[in-house]
Structure 1
C-alpha cells in the first residue's frame, strides 16, 4: 500500500521514510506522543503507567500499561524498527507478569503515574469513572490481558506467530505506523493489520460478547446495557448509570422537577446534590466539595455527574445526579418511567 497526494491535475505518490531519518526516538518521541493520544493505536484505553517495571528480579519495562473499558489490562509495546523485532515474545512475558494485578494495585500504579505527570486527579475515582463502575468488582477486573504491538512494519515470522496465538484465545493487535515524507513533513499512516477490520470485526464482536457473558455469569455482575428513548430521540447502548442519567434528564427536560423525581427513589440517600444559582461544571464541583467537607464526608464531588450537559437547573438552583447506584438502577428507572408515564420517556435492554 502507499499514500498519494491528489489534486485536479495529478496524483503523486508520497515517499516512504523512517522514524530514524526524522530523528525520532522510540521512547523519547514516539512513546511520549502516543501516550498522550493512545486512541491512535488502542481506542478505548486509559494509560496507567509508562515504562512500567515494578517486579523483582527483572529489569524489563512495559512501554505503556493501560486499561480498557472491559477492565482488561493492556500491554502496549512500541518499536520504530522496520520488522518489529521479537516484540511479541517480549509482550507475552509482560502480559504474564501483570496478569495477577488487583484493582488496588492498579490504583497504586496509576497514582504514581499521575504524580509524575503532575495531574490533579484522584486515581481510584478516575478508574471507576473510566470503567463506568459504581463500585470495585475484583471478580471482573483484569480477567484478561490484551496486547497491542505498534511498529513501522512487521515481519512475516511475527505476524504468523501472532495469528497462531490469537487462534488460541490470546488477544493481540498489530498496528502498523508507516511514516511518509510530504514536502519535509512527516505523515503517519496508522493501519491495524491484525486483526484485519474487514475480515475480523464480526469474530471479535462475538468473542467479546462470549467473554462478557462468561464474566457476568462468574461474578454475578449485571453488564446489561440499555437504550433510552425520550420522544423520538434515542440514546443507545448505555451502561446502567448512564441510562439512569438519561431517564432522569429525560423527564426533567419534559418539565419534571428534579427534587420531585429524587423523592421517588426514597431508598437512595444523596441521590441529587443541589446548590443555589445557575452553576457551571466547575462551580458545581466546588459547591458539592464544600457540602461534603461540611458534612465530614470523605467522598468526592466526582461521584456526581458534573458536565455542563449533565447538570439540571430548576427553582433557581442547580442539580447534579449521583453516579453511585449499585444494583438498584433498573428499579429506579422503572419507578421514574411509571410515575411520569405521560412524558413519553422509556427504556429497554439494548440490542446486541
Structure 2
C-alpha cells in the first residue's frame, strides 16, 4: 500500500520510486548505510563485517555478516531489485559456508573490518563481548545457528514461496522490504518486515517449538515401540509361534498372515493398551462383511474354545472388520519391568485366538 501525507483536507499519496531510478546502488549506498545502522532492519544485530568471502574456491561474498544477541550468525543479503532475484539461494550457500565459524575467527574478521572503516581493530573482542553480554568468549555457545535476512525493494512470488517453505522446515529466514518514495525531492524509505509478519512471528515461533516437541515425542514413541516388538518377537521365537520371524517396526501393530489372503493375525499396542486380533480386509467391503458374518455365526463355539468373550467389531466406518481380545495388563509406555508379563499375556491370547478361529477359517472355503 502507498504512503500518504495527511493534510487537514486529504490524504495525499507520496510518489513511489525505485532504487534504480534514484540511482541507489547496493554496495555503495544500501550496504554502506546499513553496516552502521543495521537496526533499521528492525532486529537487534551487530555487524561483524561486509563483503565477506574468505573461503577457498569461491568468489562469492556475503553483503553483511552479523551476530544477534543469542550469538547466532546472521547472513544479510541485499538487492535493489523489485523481485529479489535468486537471493535466497545465494544466502543459503553463504549460511552453510559460515556455519562452522568460531568466536576466535569471528573476532579476527571483525578486527579487519574495523580497521578498514577507520576504527580501532583491537576493540573487536570487547565490542563483541559487550554486545553479547558475555564476560569472556564462550566458544561452545557461539554460532549455534545461522539466520538469514533478505533485504530488497520488493520480493517476487517464487522467492516468497521458497522462503515460506524454508521457514516451515525450521530455517530462520526472513524478508525485509525497503520501498523508496519521493517527497518534495527527499528520498523516503518505508521499511517493512513482510515474512514473517512481526505480529505473527511470536505465534509462528510457538508453533515451531510445539512441532519440535511433538517431533521428539514421535521419535521417542517409535523407538519405544520398536524395542517392544523386538522383545516380543524374541519371546515368540522361544515359543515358536506365528510371529516368531516377523521383522520388528515402529508401527502400533505387528502383523502375520492367517493363511487366508486378506486375513491377518495382529498384535496391537498403545501407550497403556494391548490387544490381539483377526483383521479382515480382502479389499472389498461386502466380502469382508460376509466373512465377518460367517465367523460371527460361530460366535458361541469360538468364544467357548477361546475361553472368554471377544470383541466383534464390524467397523462400520471402515472397509475392514475385526475380531479382538483386549489385554488388561498395559502397553509400551508401561514400565519395561512389566513388558515380559504383558508380552507373555499377548502371546497366550494370540495362541488361543488362532486355535479358536481355525475351524471357522477352514470352513470359509477361500
TM-score (norm: length of structure 2): 0.56
Please give the per-residue CA displacement for 1:296-337, whole angstroms capped at 9, x wherever unaligned: xxxxxxxxxxxxxxxxxxxxxxxxxxxxxxxxxxxxxxxxxx
- 1:183: which partner in 2? 184
Deviation at 1:203, TM superposition (A): 2.8
Deviation at 1:207, TM superposition (A): 5.5
Larger radius of gyration: 2
- 1:162: which partner in 2? 163
Q: Does 1:22 find its partner at 2:25?
A: no
Alpha-carbon contact 1:42-1:148 (below 8 Å) kept: no
Q: Relative contact order: is structure 1 or structure 2 higher (C-alpha 8 Å, sep ≥ 6)?
A: 1
SS of aligned partner of 2:114: helix
RMSD of the alignment, in Å? 1.8
Deviation at 1:53, TM superposition (A): 0.4
- 2:355: which partner in 1? none
- 2:78: which partner in 1? 78
User: Separation in 2 of the partners of 1:112 and 1:175?
Assistant: 28
Q: Does 1:149 find its partner at 2:145?
A: no
Deviation at 1:2, TM superposition (A): 1.1
Give runs of aligned pairs for residues 52-63 of structure 1, distance below 5 A. Answer: 52-63=52-63
User: Separation in 2 of the partners of 1:105 and 1:141?
Assistant: 11
Deviation at 1:66, TM superposition (A): 0.3
SS of aligned partner of 2:9: coil
Deviation at 1:210, TM superposition (A): 11
- 1:111: which partner in 2? 111
- 1:96: which partner in 2? 96
SS of aligned partner of 1:64: strand
Deviation at 1:201, TM superposition (A): 2.3
Alpha-carbon spacing, 1:209–1:167, altered in 2? closer, same or farther (3 Å): closer
User: Separation in 2 of the partners of 1:89 and 1:57?
Assistant: 18
User: Separation in 1 of the partners of 2:210 and 2:148?
Assistant: 19
Give runs of aligned pairs for residues 268-279 of structure 1, distance below 5 A. Answer: none
Q: 5+ unaligned residues in a row in structure 1: which ranges? A: 212-352
Deviation at 1:58, TM superposition (A): 0.4
Deviation at 1:204, TM superposition (A): 2.8
Alpha-carbon spacing, 1:107–1:42, altered in 2? closer, same or farther (3 Å): farther
User: Separation in 2 of the partners of 1:74 and 1:42?
Assistant: 13
Out of 79-88 and 13-22, give the one that drifted further: 13-22
Alpha-carbon contact 2:170-2:208 (below 8 Å) kept: no
SS of aligned partner of 2:35: helix
- 1:292: which partner in 2? none
SS of aligned partner of 1:97: helix
Give runs of aligned pairs for residues 240-319 of structure 1, distance below 5 A. Answer: none
- 2:130: which partner in 1? 129
Give runs of aligned pairs for residues 187-202 of structure 1, distance below 5 A. Answer: 187-202=188-203
Deviation at 1:208, TM superposition (A): 7.9
Deviation at 1:180, TM superposition (A): 0.8
User: Separation in 2 of the partners of 1:94 and 1:205?
Assistant: 27
- 1:338: which partner in 2? none
Deviation at 1:209, TM superposition (A): 11
Please give the per-residue CA displacement for 1:64-93, whole angstroms capped at 9, x wherever unaligned: 000110000000000001100000000000
Out of 37-46 and 201-210, give the one that drifted further: 201-210
Deviation at 1:206, TM superposition (A): 7.1
Please give the per-residue CA displacement for 1:183-237, whole angstroms capped at 9, x wherever unaligned: 22111000000001122223336768999xxxxxxxxxxxxxxxxxxxxxxxxxx
SS of aligned partner of 2:21: helix
User: Separation in 1 of the partners of 2:211 and 2:111?
Assistant: 32
Deviation at 1:102, TM superposition (A): 0.5
User: Separation in 1 of the partners of 2:15 and 2:186?
Assistant: 11
Alpha-carbon contact 1:178-1:190 (below 8 Å) kept: yes
User: Separation in 2 of the partners of 1:75 and 1:203?
Assistant: 21
User: Separation in 2 of the partners of 1:189 and 1:107?
Assistant: 33
Out of 83-92 and 15-24, give the one that drifted further: 15-24
User: Separation in 2 of the partners of 1:96 and 1:47?
Assistant: 18
User: Separation in 1 of the partners of 2:206 and 2:64?
Assistant: 25
Q: Tell me the number of residue pairs that the alignment of Structure 1 and Structure 2 aligns.
A: 211
